Structure 1
């Protein structure tokens, strides 16, 4: 682990006073009242007891917030998040103390400085899911080897945009000395570029876990000599101009305060203006700027504005070379979410180049 970077992880809880206990024989209604009063509850005996309490809490709140409107959905999610995180599980020697609990390697890997503590059950569930992905790996259609995403790092579960980028890279005939991957995340785009012959890729990310996870993933292999990482926003410390800039930004405008994973899904107000301003300086004269995006914001009515289209119309910095679009596969019948709009969704690959005036061309000579 890169100890110079502070990992983002669930905050360990140490409580000195006694807690109300929950087990199979405990009155659930009384326990929920305890949670509503702001007091934490400790799960005892079996791990499944905690799952039962979460299920009952969800049913209770669904009756309170019937889910008939978008506002009620938001209120339900906020209430569930607040109360469920008061349901705690004890960890001793980096192991969950309740019986029949999953074995979660992150407890030892992420908490070197403490071995005995408490965590909210939803955070434990998140750690467990992340550990399974990390341990078993995920197959990505554009890569030969499995990815092993680090805790707290967003990784795609849909691959339409990656396939679009792969098709574009196959046809790319420009220089391949260097490229910059903004918001490198789990590193898939960078690995695609290395696969197609790029000599050096510089990757940035504001998420410390992305930097630590990729550093661990690459180890001392050839990848570590081809991919250079920096924890920072946009272009970070990289000042050298490059032939290719790749940006796979969040696809929806920001609504509320976000956690690390949400930052990969929702973009803040000034992200695109800041990016295009910086990209103008970083891109070599004949270089290409690739933005992977989607019409998700428009078809879900989250926004009427398309940030790439706005830049092309008003920015005065870049011009459109080509825009490729690919329809997204229809959602699974098994999903419980209302996703009728998925039939209208398209992922987009925008290729932009510098706008040059005659004065600019003369100054370059």
Structure 2
């Protein structure tokens, strides 16, 4: 966190916080209901942050008016799918910077504006305990409040016959294709899977599906502390805490999970003692099934909130493939759940994917496909509509050569 400064009868300051990586505002002016949208938009484009002191609902109206001035897509975007994708991403970044200049002050996570909702619980869940005044973008605060509502009501997952409750900053299972594929794919080892790993578990939805399918023990991992807390919450809600254990932050479970009936479900576990003269090295744990649904786009995340979508340099995909052969028990399989959107955008080729599989000492023993059902695949106004409508999500069944 850094500090913003402004004058309001006297010089004031507050810590600046941005989950989406918005830069620290260098100039801050106080704004209220008297500020016209045209002036607010001009100041925001110039890089001036507007600390809102008026009515909360008027702030939301001002935000919508500024959004209309920004527009909904990159002007004149055309060319190849990759060029359109990059143009749209640059435009979304520009839009976020402009709209992010309308900011509010949280004091002990309370929002002291007329007609403002009580946001304290939502902020506590997203940010942790309050610690003095902090300034955030109104767009982010609205996202925090919306995430609290998602967390409370949950997302119905037909493959589970239950609801998954996503936490703030954790990718919600609103797209059902990849979950259905994991629910339908034939289990290896004749269906009698003792141990499975779910790498990059997120909300824990795939780990829960595997547990409901009869896998005796599921070890779920994630690099994100938020995701690990979210997965543990969902495992507990579903009554699967005796089957699913959540660890991290490494991609694959470490030696601390080897040959134990249960892995710790509380705070992250420190590795055990280093091997000495009287201790033999503990081998890496293995499983009969390893499932990985990495981010589908090989690109650099702008912030931690992008980690569910962008896989920088394809690092998680390569880590899964390169580590799979030594982590599978004989007769086991690795399931790679991956959309071909990156291929259709020209960001990765099918040949590159298959070469990575072969280079990791693996072979493809089967593949299941699913077509998209999400609303964006039907949005004809989306500049990438044709690509999204043709997208296919696949579950690649991999085995050791």
TM class, shorter-length: 0.7 to 0.9
Cα distance in 2 between the residues matched to 1:63 and 1:115? 36
The residue that corresponds to 1:3 in the other structure is: none
The residue that corresponds to 1:54 in the other structure is: 63
The residue that corresponds to 1:89 in the other structure is: 104
Spell out the pairing of 1:283-298 with structure 2 (5 A cutoff): 283-298=328-343
Indicate yes or no: 2:363 matched with 1:346. Answer: no
Cα distance in 2 between the residues matched to 1:251 and 1:100? 41
Cα distance in 2 between the residues matched to 1:158 and 1:220? 21
Indicate yes or no: 2:226 matched with 1:217. Answer: no
Cα distance in 2 between the residues matched to 1:185 and 1:63? 29
Indicate yes or no: 2:245 matched with 1:228. Answer: yes
The residue that corresponds to 2:261 in the other structure is: none
Cα distance in 1 between the residues matched to 2:53 and 2:286? 57
How far did residue 287 of structure 1 move? 0.8
Indicate yes or no: 2:302 matched with 1:258. Answer: yes
SS of the residue 1:244 aligns to: strand
Cα distance in 2 between the residues matched to 1:74 and 1:326? 26
Cα distance in 2 between the residues matched to 1:291 and 1:213? 22
| Contact 1:139/1:145 (8 A) holds in 2 | yes
Cα distance in 2 between the residues matched to 1:243 and 1:336? 44
More displaced stretch, 116-125 vs 336-345? 336-345
SS of the residue 1:281 aligns to: coil
More displaced stretch, 100-109 vs 147-156? 100-109
SS of the residue 1:348 aligns to: strand
Return 5+ residue gaps in structure 1 as ranges. 1-10, 356-365
| Contact 1:13/1:119 (8 A) holds in 2 | no
| Contact 2:189/2:331 (8 A) holds in 1 | no
Cα distance in 1 between the residues matched to 2:341 and 2:87? 22
Cα distance in 2 between the residues matched to 1:93 and 1:142? 40
Cα distance in 1 between the residues matched to 2:123 and 2:373? 36
| Contact 1:67/1:73 (8 A) holds in 2 | no
SS of the residue 1:58 aligns to: helix
Q: Which residue of 225, 235, 257 corresponds with 1:208?
A: 225
How far did residue 14 of structure 1 move? 6.1
Give per-residue Cα distances to partners, 1:255-276, cap 9 Å, x unaligned: x443223221122224333322
Please, what TM-score do these two structures have when normalized by structure 2?
0.77
How far did residue 23 of structure 1 move? 2.5
Say if 1:204 and 1:100 are closer, same or farther in 2 by CA, change over 3 A.
same
Cα distance in 1 between the residues matched to 2:58 and 2:136? 15
Please, what TM-score do these two structures have when normalized by structure 1?
0.84
How big is the alpha-carbon RMSD for the aligned residues of Structure 1 and Structure 2? 2.8
| Contact 2:291/2:336 (8 A) holds in 1 | yes
The residue that corresponds to 2:364 in the other structure is: 320
Indicate yes or no: 2:240 matched with 1:197. Answer: no
| Contact 1:169/1:193 (8 A) holds in 2 | no
Say if 1:347 and 1:52 are closer, same or farther in 2 by CA, change over 3 A.
same
The residue that corresponds to 1:31 in the other structure is: 40
Cα distance in 1 between the residues matched to 2:164 and 2:388? 26
How far did residue 336 of structure 1 move? 4.3
How far did residue 171 of structure 1 move? 8.6
How far did residue 223 of structure 1 move? 2.2
SS of the residue 1:68 aligns to: coil
The residue that corresponds to 1:274 in the other structure is: 319
Cα distance in 2 between the residues matched to 1:195 and 1:204? 18
How far did residue 52 of structure 1 move? 2.6
The residue that corresponds to 1:80 in the other structure is: 95
| Contact 1:169/1:196 (8 A) holds in 2 | no
How far did residue 335 of structure 1 move? 7.0
Return 5+ residue gaps in structure 2 as ranges. 9-27, 79-83, 258-283
Give per-residue Cα distances to partners, 1:47-100, cap 9 Å, x unaligned: 222223322323333399635343654443222222222211122342222233
